[in-house]
Structure formats: structure tokens, C-alpha cells
Amino acid sequence: MSILVVGSVAFDALKTPFGQVDRAIGGSATYFSVAASFFTPVELVAVVGDDFTAKDAAVFEGRPINTDGLQRVSGAKTFFWSGEYGYDLNVAKTRDTQLNVFAEFKPRLTPKQQQADVLFLANIDPELQMEVLKQTKRPRIVALDTMNYWITSKRDALERIFREVDLIVINEAEVRQFMNESNLVKAARAILALGPKTLVIKRGEYGVLMITGDSAFAVPAYPLENVFDPTGAGDTFAGGFLGFLASRREVTDKEFRRAIIFGSVLASFTVEKFSLDRLREISISDIQERYQAFRTLTHFEDFEI
């Protein structure tokens, strides 16, 4: 199945306890596209300024990512995010967000993009997410991600789009913040009551919890000794998760569970280096090998007392 993503392509300034960079390639749609492209072709819809060079665009090259939908605005700057982490790498502190080209972005989908089977509304202004959704022709799966920035600044628009999607991929802290409810399960149920069938809650180093109307599935994060920069882990997870699902003929509960593992596998690579540096090095065989390691990690035998 074809997959269409709209979200940010960005420059990030990042500081972790282990190092810092001033201008690294980032953005929700960037991490998503590269991760999903291991499994399925991706149509990317986003915007950059003329400070985004051919060298920067090389991140998409040699992969089944169609960048025809990546608009370039001359005389303007690419989206910029600056974030910092302390030793608790689960908590990102935003130091600066400059929307730049995104402030004026009006996405127009081509007829081919409108026919996408899977739509991912990556973290970006919820009003833009809605504009893109309205232009598509009934995708089989519509999924969405967001963050505290939009919960605080555009809560109503966010609730409107929550009501229109099948699946939400969201951080644990943001589930609580959106519903103003400290109990995660209660907050999750309240979001599902708005309409989505599935909620996939990202819990940083504690892994992922998927909740549907009548079931729950939880996996830990892959235990790494070498976690360097958590930026993009969430978007990479979403890319691996939806990219894998889009590559399957049927979208059953079994495939959903496998997809959660592939998303977790991809995210575990992203955090090993700054930006997309590690993701750009790996191959399908690295992914396969870590998928098997994940199976061993979570496997246990049946037992009756």
C-alpha cells in the first residue's frame, strides 16, 4: 500500500549530556519517511527554505521516497527546532521553535497523492493536518502524531482532527496533558471515546503501549547501552510501524503487533547517534537481526501453577 506523510522537515539544534550539534537535519516527516522507506514507498509532503541544500536533501536519496511534494520557498528559512535533554532522556525541553516556511505553507496534493492508502499526519500544525486529510480520498488508515507545543497552542484544532483519524501515535506525557488526567489508562480511554480505534502510546525508554477498544499490547524499548540522542525516536517508531503495516496485504491484529516491534526496532537505531546518522547507515539485515533479538527479549513459556 502507498503511504503519504505530511510533517516537518527541519534543522535541529540539539544538546544532550553527551554532545551537541547546531544544525542537524531533523523534522517529523524526515525521520518518518526514512524509517518507513525500509518497507514501502513513501510520498513526502513538506516545505523547506532555500537554506536546505542538495547535500541536506541527500537524506532522502537512494530510497523509495518521492520528494516531488517537498516544496522549496526561496528567500525563506527552513523550520527550526532547538531541544535539550538532561540525563532523563525521556524528557525533551524545547528551547526554541521557529516555524519559518511552515507559517505560510498551504499543501496541495497531486491526484496521485490524494489516492494514498495510508496517510500519516506527522507532528505539525493540526490545521495543516486537517487541510491534507480533507484533500485525500478515503485512505484505508489515517494516523496522526502531535506534541505538547500544539496541545498548548491549538487544542481545539487538535481535538477536531483527533475525531477524524483511525490511529493516534502519541507520547505518554501528551496523553495525560491532552486529557488533563494523570491516570494513563483513563486518559487513553477518553481519547478513544473521541473516535480513533487505536492509540499507540510512546513511553520513551519504557517502550510502547497500544490500546484499542477491547485489547492492549505492551512492549519494552530495546535495552541499549548506547543511547546518545533520543530526538526523532517517536517519528522513527511511527515510520517503522506504519511502513511495515502498509507493506502487508492484510492489516490484522497479528500484523499490528509485528508492526509495533518493527517500529521499536527502527527507533532503537535512531537514538544511537545524532540526527538520522545511525538510520542512514543501517540495512534491512540489521533490522531483521534486531527484530529477532526483540523476540528473544520478550519470549516466555506458558506455565500453570
Closest Cα to residue 220, out of 236, 208, 202? 208
Closer Cβ to ligand AMP, 77 or 189, answer by number: 77
Distance CA(280)–CA(253), nearest Å, equals 30
Distance CA(202)–CA(221), nearest Å, equals 10
263 binds ligand AMP per the rule CB under 6 A: no
Neighbours of 228 (CB within 10 A): 18
Residues 170-209 that bind ligand AMP (CB under 6 A): none
> Cell for 52?
536546505
**Cβ 126 to ligand AMP shortest distance, Å:** 10
27 binds ligand AMP per the rule CB under 6 A: yes
Please give the angle made by the CA atoms of 220, 188 and 134, to the nearest 5 degrees. Answer: 105
120 binds ligand AMP per the rule CB under 6 A: no
> Cell for 105?
505553507
Distance CA(191)–CA(186), nearest Å, equals 9
The stretch near ligand AMP (CB under 6 A) out of 5-13, 48-56, 63-71, 134-142 is 5-13
Kindly determine how many residues on this chain lie close enough to bind ligand AMP according to the rule CB under 6 A. 17
**Cβ 17 to ligand AMP shortest distance, Å:** 16
Alpha-carbon dihedral sign for residues 236, 241, 242, 248: positive
Closer Cβ to ligand AMP, 56 or 255, answer by number: 56
234 binds ligand AMP per the rule CB under 6 A: yes
264 binds ligand AMP per the rule CB under 6 A: no
The stretch near ligand AMP (CB under 6 A) out of 154-162, 203-211, 232-240, 290-298 is 232-240
Phi, psi (deg, nearest 5) at residue 128: -70, -40
Q: What residue ranges bind ligand AMP (CB under 6 A)? A: 8, 10, 12, 26-28, 81, 97, 123-124, 147, 149, 231-235
